[in-house]
Amino acid sequence: MNIPIVDQILELVQQLPHEQRRQLIARLEQELADERLSEQPPMRPDEARAAWQRLRESMREIPTPRLSAGEQLEADRRSRERTLLGPWTESGDVDA
């Protein structure tokens, strides 16, 4: 059986509708993230603290204006609450 080369795969991919190409990219991105993490040994506590600090520093690189992480969490929680409560969100006991 012949193993398809990258160009052949790309040619096939280009025949896909836009949405399916987007799904394919998302899936490949996820698989790469899984592989990369599965290669990592467990962190020691000092490594974990350093990783947390690096994360914090890297957050400075995200373009602004944007929501802060706290605002994003709050927006996500409120959005879910609105989805669950629907028209009852603005009434009753919810927003005491």
Partner 1 sequence: MWTLDASVYVRAADPNDPDQAICQELIDALDDQAAPIIVPRLLLAELAGVLRRLTRDPIRARLAVDALRSLPQVQLVPLDDALIDAATELAADYALRGADATYVAVARRYNCTLVSLDREQRERATSIVATRTPAEALAELLPPQAHPSRC
Binding stretches for partner 1 (CB under 8 A) = 29-30, 33, 36-37, 40, 42-45, 47-49, 51-52, 55-60, 62, 64, 66-74, 76-77, 81, 93-96
Neighbours of 71 (CB within 10 A): 10
- Cβ at position 17, least distance to partner 1 in Å: 23
- Cβ at position 27, least distance to partner 1 in Å: 12
Note whether 51 and 43 are within 8 A (CB). Answer: yes
CA distances from 18 to 4, 30, 37, 87 (A): 22, 18, 29, 35
- Cβ at position 37, least distance to partner 1 in Å: 5
